[in-house]
């Protein structure tokens, strides 16, 4: 049998906790729910509720936790009742998990202390040049300027003049203008972005993005409320070789991952060699031949 407090009783108990009402300063005495001989105390529930929440939100989180606790304990109870002793014996799995966790923590600590995590630009560039087949684009990317501005304040000729000047001074003037008048704007000329990001911000559909990009370096549109201007500075099409700057971070992660694999393999080999040198293990073969 299991017992659980009535819904409103649970709410009242938890609410009392959050207004700092306790019995003899020991809220451990509040039992919120029971399943068999397992008990859930109000202090256990209060620990998972973030501070400074309004009472209603606190109660929602608390009662959700109580329901999940009850369901989990019921599953555990049902499993214990229906599995054999052998099936419930998880000591081997626990030992394997403990061993794996200790090894994982040890390897991580060694990597923190000893592994070189510096990846230079020349290493990234070299990897890029040696493996170009790995860096074909799977999407169209652009460097662009996007502006969305209310029709009543839009000055298309001025805006087109501003976006054509990509000097620091020109971009500064463009930003000042957009901050004053634009509903939204982005200047993507120092980094590559997915062309879909640009398309999603304009009202008209572009069916063939690749064809459009090869034929246009500017998009000028207008709807009932806004004027849109997109200036395409550069573009790369799907299946083109990705620009180095676009994949530099990915290459850095690839280099670090390869370095990590090599480092961990070397650690295992070093420990094995040390074990041989110090006679720390024996291998017993079925023919009784013994090797150290």
- Which CATH number do you get for residue 184? 3.10.50
* Domain limits for position 277: 90-134+250-292
Of 25-39, 78-92, 138-152, 241-255, the range with the lowest mean pLDDT is 25-39
Count CB neighbours of 39 within 10 A.
Answer: 14
Residue 204's pLDDT is what? 84
Residue 179's pLDDT is what? 94
**Quick check: is 243 in a domain?**
no
- The verdict on 159 and 198 lying in the same domain is yes
pLDDT, average across residues 206-225: 90
* SS3 call for 83: coil
**Highest mean pLDDT (candidates 34-38, 41-45, 92-96):** 92-96
* SS3 call for 240: coil
- The verdict on 111 and 98 lying in the same domain is yes
Q: What is the pLDDT of residues 222-274, one digit of tens each?
A: 999 999 999 999 999 999 999 999 999 999 999 999 999 999 999 999 999 99
Final residue in a domain of this structure, among 236, 258, 274:
236
Count CB neighbours of 232 within 10 A.
Answer: 18
Q: What is the pLDDT of residues 118-172, one digit of tens each?
A: 999 999 999 999 999 999 999 999 999 999 999 999 999 999 999 999 899 999 9
What is the distance between the alpha carbons of residues 165 and 207, in angstroms, rounded to a whole number? 29
- The verdict on 145 and 68 lying in the same domain is no
- The verdict on 153 and 12 lying in the same domain is no
- The verdict on 187 and 220 lying in the same domain is yes
Q: What is the pLDDT of residues 191-201, one digit of tens each?
A: 999 999 999 88
**Number of separate domains in the chain:** 3
- The verdict on 124 and 181 lying in the same domain is no
- The verdict on 254 and 127 lying in the same domain is yes
Token pair listed for 1: 């049998």
């Amino acid at each position: 049998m299991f017992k659980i407090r009535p819904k409103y009783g649970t709410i009242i108990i938890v609410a009392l906790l959050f207004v700092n009402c306790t019995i003899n300063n020991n809220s451990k005495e509040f039992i919120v729910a029971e399943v068999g001989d397992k008990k859930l105390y109000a202090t256990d529930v209060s620990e998972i509720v973030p501070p400074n929440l309004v009472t209603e939100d606190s109660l929602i989180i608390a009662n959700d936790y109580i329901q999940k606790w009850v369901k989990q304990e019921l599953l555990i109870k049902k499993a214990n009742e229906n599995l054999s002793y052998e099936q419930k014996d998880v000591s081997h799995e626990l030992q394997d998990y403990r061993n794996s966790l200790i090894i994982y923590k040890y390897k991580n600590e060694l990597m923190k202390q000893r592994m070189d995590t510096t990846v230079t630009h020349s290493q990234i560039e070299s990897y890029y040049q040696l493996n170009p087949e790995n860096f074909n684009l799977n999407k169209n990317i652009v460097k662009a300027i996007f502006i969305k501005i209310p029709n009543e304040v839009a000055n298309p000729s001025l805006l087109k003049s501003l976006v054509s000047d990509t000097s620091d001074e020109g971009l500064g003037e463009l930003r000042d203008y957009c901050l004053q008048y634009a509903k939204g704007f982005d200047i993507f000329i120092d980094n590559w972005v997915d062309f879909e990001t640009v398309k999603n911000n304009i009202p008209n559909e572009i069916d063939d993005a690749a064809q459009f990009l090869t034929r246009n370096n500017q998009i000028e549109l207008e709807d009932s409320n806004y004027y849109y201007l997109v200036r395409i500075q550069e573009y790369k099409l799907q299946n083109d070789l990705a620009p180095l700057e676009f994949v530099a971070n990915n290459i850095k992660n690839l280099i670090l991952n390869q370095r990590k694999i090599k480092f961990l393999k070397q650690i295992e080999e070093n420990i094995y060699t040390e074990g041989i040198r110090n006679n720390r293990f024996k291998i017993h073969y079925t023919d009784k031949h013994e090797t150290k």
